[in-house]
Each structure stands twice: as structure tokens, then as C-alpha cells.
Structure 1
């Protein structure tokens, strides 16, 4: 499916951060995770990084639709990286709101898929990051294996959920009246509440048919009048072949560290140590040496501390805190 949902979830462990999620929907209308990312803060740069990696995976297409919260950083990144795609916001709307959206949004009007993943991982954000990543990987491995088995056992033309939807839609359509207008146009409805189905474009004035790429009650009733196959009018994305193909690849465990292959951009990146530097204490003398700048016997005095990256001619400050000096002494022992 080409509908993507984007959302984030905050980490709750000692090392704060944010999980970014991108999901799609498989042929059985189930959540299909596409990408996970962990960032330190939600910024324009972090969303650009995350969505540029997503673009490497799925590319850009005029059939691609994003659904997300109303965040400028997401909107800017999508507009820059996916100029051909459509972007909609999470909304709660009536059925008639289908007519106001440009692009094939299928049945996705909210970001409930991502919210469901957040609920499934509600305890995981408190884990250390490496354990969190392994938890996500294992969950996806188990998930893909079980769904691959279900898809392989499917014996219907469409996935089970879509077969049930088509059956329900067909039963509801039998209560509607249908009249031919031209070779391709059919009027369907009851009394004055009617819509027009056009099989030359596979559209309906109710707009659900073309947006969901699945037969609505009007298109179903018109197809029966015209003697058309209902399956031929459903999107191939809903067939069991697409469902099976979505889970065709296995998710493997992480190899032993001795077997890891690191890309050049990782091995070529220098690693700099973090250093706690005491800038000042509430005493008149200047602080110049970490060993002597903390006066003994004044553990309750306040000190200003920076966590910095230092290398020749460069100093990058990460955090600035004020705390009691006896805490600083403990940090300096690390």
C-alpha cells in the first residue's frame, strides 16, 4: 500500500530521545511497519534525516500519501523530499469528507495505525536504547513470521478482511436501485439520495470507490447491473498475492559483533570523548583544574557544570547544569 503514517513516541529511560515511526497498511488492512528511527530531539534536521532514509526505501510517487500530525517539521520534510506525494493530516471526519481529499488515501483518515504501535510498545520506551532496538526487531520478526504463515494459508482472491468487506458491501448494495445512463455511467441510490458510478474511470460521486480503491455500495450495485466482475474492480493491493508478498522476507537477528560490516561513513567518523568541565563554583578563586577546583568540605555549595566535547581548537557544549559540588566529585570519578 502507498499510504504512510508518521508519528513519534518519547523515550522514558535515563537517556531521553524520541522514536520516529512510519507505517503503511498491508492487503489485509493490518499495520505494516516501514521504518523506525531514534533521535535526540524533534527538529527539522531529524525529520529530514528520517524521511530521507524512508525515501531510499520507498521512493517518491504520485500514488504516495502521507498522513501525520500537524507539525511544520514533518510538512517541510515531506514537501522537500516527496514533491510528487500527497500529504494529509490526521482528522476525525464524516464519510462525506472523502470528497475533500486529493490523492488515494484508502481508508486511512487518522494515524491510528501508529498509535496502535505506540500502545503495543508502551513499556519498551523505558528500556536502554540497545535493548529497545532489539525488542523492536524481535517483535517484528515474530510478527512477520506469523503473518507470512496466515497469508500463505489464504485461499481466497482477496485477503480475509477484504473478502468480508466485499461480502458486506454486496449485501448492502442489494437494497439500492440502479439505472443505466450511458454505456459507462450508472445512477445508483434510493429516491433523491443517488450517486453516479463511472466505469470508464472507476469513480463514484460518493468518492469512496476511487479513494479506497475498493468497491463501495454504489459501485457494487452498478457492477452487478452491468455484469462486471467485482474482483476485477478491486485494487490488486488487496489480493492475497500482495498480502503474501509483503511478508515474503524474513527479519533476521543481529549477527555476532565479529561478523559486523561497517560502512565507510561510520568507520571514517572520529569519536570524541565527553568531558565534564567545572566552569565555576561559588567561591572567589578561578577554576582552572578539575582536581583542585572543588574545595573540600563544601559539598553543599553550588557549582556550574558543562558537559562538553573537547578536541584541539574546538569546544562543543552539550549540557549546562547547576548542582551541589559533591555530585560533581562523583561525576569526575566516572
Structure 2
């Protein structure tokens, strides 16, 4: 996996309440890859520190690790204690929600997203200057947060295409039904979901004939028409000058996966300039991508089986576990009727489907969720 982890928490709605903490990565096909789940009393400093300590057993702290989340103060506290070396990025969608609430009348949401997703500093500055012209107060608010927390151009780590916490939020949505279950049944529900997902991904790999994942293949097809608009000259081994019709020059180095537009550099997927250079000199662009996007790497990520639970009678429980006295988490039931549907974030669109099913089948399963945000 690319070393980007998205963390989030969601409230449980069962008898004893509590909170489910989730850590997810994204595989080479831009699909959710769950890493860890934890059930705690609530999103407190102690809970997040405990969760990150357990997560560190799987993903140790390092300077090339990026963690993306909302701006919850307890998450920041936990990261400072357990992951001091890792970089931290704020979710752009949550920030946009705050901006729309307080500065929505200035119409700055579009400029904010353009500035956040810009690859080059000069492109970021162009959009941010336009945002400042519309609302100086909003610009000051974003400056106080720190550009390195919410922009791709100023980020000190590598965020790739992951600009929001949608991976974890989508996982929360998948588990909406299970959040009202007792903890043991909720964990079993999660296990069955992952078992179905991984089985479906194995079948997808078996059908794929490309060197890269299906989504990266699709990305090539989208950029292919634009790549024909450039003039390409070789400047050295694997090094090319790509010139647009307006006269702007780009320097592409295919074996290093870099381009001066920085899109290739940031995503490790050839941009239109990289595609133009590769096609002009007969190089397969599918061999000059980040190794995470290779079909074999994608296949290796889910080869470990997710095994069914054994009969409880056959499980030997250690004495120090059986001696524990577990009590329900401390919680206060909120007034009113509990909600059953997730409240959509600002900017989310509800999608309705008209599904016609065969009379011989009565179940429809969703095997995977893709979160692609370029």
C-alpha cells in the first residue's frame, strides 16, 4: 500500500453506545483496504492514544507515513504521542463544510478545492489569491490551520490522491446497519463484509489481463486523447522535453516517475505529458507507474484468507482473559429517537438506482467501495 492511512470515528447506536474507531488505507485499485477497528467509550484523548498504540504494532511510526483525518483535537493529541514522526493531513471535505457554514455567502468553496488539490505551488497561489479577494476572513482562517495540513502543493509528506477521509467515512456507511448490534455481532458483520470484498477482488484479478490495476488502466484511457496534443523531444536517457501548443515546456523523466507539472510526481501515474513521451518513443506507460499500481502487488494485498470463526467450544481462552470482568462503557443516551441513516456531508449527492432483478435471485451484495479523488 501507499503509506497513507485515513482514521475516523463513528458513534454506535446500540444499547451501550460507545464509538467505533477505524483505520483504512487504499489499495492500488483505489478501493478501501481496512486495517484496524477499535471499540471505545468515546472519541477522547485516552481512546485515540490507545487505538494508535495498537495501530503502531501494524504500521510503525516513520517519516514517510501520512495520516489523514478530520481536525478532532483528540486525534491530534493521539498522533503527537504515538506518531510524532508521521505527517498529518486534514480532510478537505470537513474543511469545506466549515467554510460553507461561515463563509458560504462568498462562494469560495470551489476555489478552496482547487487550491487544496493543486499540484504546483504557483497554481495553489493563483487560486488562493482569488479566494482571498473574495473573502479575506476565509483566507486568514485557512492560513491559521497551516497550508501543509490541507494542500497537496505544500504537504510535507505524500498524500497522492487522498485529500479527504472519505475512505473511512465510506466504511462507516457500509457498517451503518451493524452499528446497532452488540459488539461481538458487529465484529462478525465486519469480518463477513471483508471476506466478501476480498473474494470479489480475487475474482477481479483473475479476469484482468493488464500489467496495472483496472482503475489505473481507466485513467490511461481518460488521458490518452490529451496526450496527442504535445510535441516530444528526447533530452537524455528516459528524459524528455514535452511542449504544449502554447509553448509551455515540461520535463518528464519516465524511470523516476516525475514531471514538472508535478501530477506524475505526486500520483506516480503518468500524466498526459508522461503518456505523450512514452507513446512517442514506444515505451509501455504501464511499466513506468508506482509499484503499488502493479497487478501483482494489488493481488498480493488480499491473498491472506479471512477465516470463519471457529466453534467457541474449540477455542482455548487464556486464563488472564477469562478472569477479566468486562463492564459496559460509560455513556449517556441522548434524547430523542436514534437516527438510522447517516446525515450526508455538504456537497454529497444522493444517488438512486432503478434495479431490475431476476426472479431467481433475491440478494444483492455490494462487494467493494472505490474512493477516487484526483
Structures share fold, TM-score greater than 0.5: yes
Q: 2:118 aligns with which of 84, 87, 96?
A: 96
Matches within 5 A, 1:225-236: 225-236=280-291
Following the alignment from structure 2 to structure 1, what is the Cα–Cα distance between the partners of residues 73 and 165?
A: 17
Which residue is equivalent to 1:312?
A: none
Q: Is the Cα–Cα contact under 8 Å of residues 67 and 89 in structure 1 kept in the other structure?
A: yes
Distance 1:176 1:79, change over 3 A: farther
Distance 1:190 1:10, change over 3 A: farther
Following the alignment from structure 1 to structure 2, what is the Cα–Cα distance between the partners of residues 210 and 263?
A: 50
User: 1:199, CA displacement in angstroms?
Assistant: 4.6
| 2:261 matches 1:189 | no
User: 1:155, CA displacement in angstroms?
Assistant: 1.7
Provide Cα deviations, 1:199-244, integer angstroms capped at 9, x if missing partner. Answer: 5743223222122111111222233345544123101111111111
Q: Is the Cα–Cα contact under 8 Å of residues 68 and 164 in structure 2 kept in the other structure?
A: yes
| 2:227 matches 1:173 | yes
Following the alignment from structure 1 to structure 2, what is the Cα–Cα distance between the partners of residues 272 and 230?
A: 56
Following the alignment from structure 1 to structure 2, what is the Cα–Cα distance between the partners of residues 65 and 87?
A: 6
Following the alignment from structure 1 to structure 2, what is the Cα–Cα distance between the partners of residues 115 and 320?
A: 24
Distance 1:12 1:91, change over 3 A: same
Structure with larger RCO (C-alpha < 8 A, sep 6+): 2
Q: Is the Cα–Cα contact under 8 Å of residues 16 and 331 in structure 2 kept in the other structure?
A: no
Greater Cα offset, 54-63 or 154-163: 54-63
Q: 2:165 aligns with which of 95, 103, 111?
A: 111
Counterpart of 2:170 in 1: which secondary structure? helix
Provide Cα deviations, 1:77-97, integer angstroms capped at 9, x if missing partner. Answer: 223323443221111522415
Distance 1:265 1:65, change over 3 A: farther
Q: Is the Cα–Cα contact under 8 Å of residues 11 and 19 in structure 2 kept in the other structure?
A: yes
Q: Can you give the 5+ residue segments of structure 2 that lack an aligned partner in the other structure?
A: 94-112, 120-151, 334-374
Counterpart of 2:198 in 1: which secondary structure? helix
Which residue is equivalent to 2:38?
A: 37
Total equivalences in the alignment: 278
Following the alignment from structure 2 to structure 1, what is the Cα–Cα distance between the partners of residues 232 and 243?
A: 4
Following the alignment from structure 1 to structure 2, what is the Cα–Cα distance between the partners of residues 70 and 25?
A: 21
| 2:199 matches 1:140 | no
User: 1:320, CA displacement in angstroms?
Assistant: 10
Q: Is the Cα–Cα contact under 8 Å of residues 197 and 219 in structure 1 kept in the other structure?
A: yes
Following the alignment from structure 1 to structure 2, what is the Cα–Cα distance between the partners of residues 32 and 319?
A: 30
TM-score in terms of structure 2 length: 0.67
Provide Cα deviations, 1:154-206, integer angstroms capped at 9, x if missing partner. Answer: 22101111111123223321123334556635244341555433457432232
User: 1:10, CA displacement in angstroms?
Assistant: 0.5
TM-score in terms of structure 1 length: 0.74
Counterpart of 1:155 in 2: which secondary structure? coil
Following the alignment from structure 1 to structure 2, what is the Cα–Cα distance between the partners of residues 142 and 182?
A: 48
Q: Is the Cα–Cα contact under 8 Å of residues 11 and 125 in structure 1 kept in the other structure?
A: yes
User: 1:6, CA displacement in angstroms?
Assistant: 0.7
User: 1:266, CA displacement in angstroms?
Assistant: 2.8
Following the alignment from structure 2 to structure 1, what is the Cα–Cα distance between the partners of residues 242 and 28?
A: 30
Q: 1:207 aligns with which of 236, 245, 262?
A: 262
Following the alignment from structure 1 to structure 2, what is the Cα–Cα distance between the partners of residues 223 and 111?
A: 34
Q: Is the Cα–Cα contact under 8 Å of residues 96 and 206 in structure 1 kept in the other structure?
A: no
Which residue is equivalent to 1:218?
A: 273
Which residue is equivalent to 1:52?
A: 53
Per residue, is there more strand in 1 or in 2? 1
Counterpart of 2:37 in 1: which secondary structure? strand
Q: Once superposed, what is the RMSD of the aligned Cα atoms?
A: 2.7
| 2:213 matches 1:159 | yes
Matches within 5 A, 1:1-334: 1=1, 2-92=3-93, 93-94=113-114, 95-97=117-119, 98-180=152-234, 184=239, 186-191=241-246, 193-199=248-254, 201-263=256-318, 266-267=321-322, 270-271=324-325
User: 1:7, CA displacement in angstroms?
Assistant: 0.7
Distance 1:264 1:166, change over 3 A: farther
User: 1:48, CA displacement in angstroms?
Assistant: 1.4
Distance 1:17 1:193, change over 3 A: farther
Q: Can you give the 5+ residue segments of structure 1 that lack an aligned partner in the other structure?
A: 275-306, 308-317, 322-334
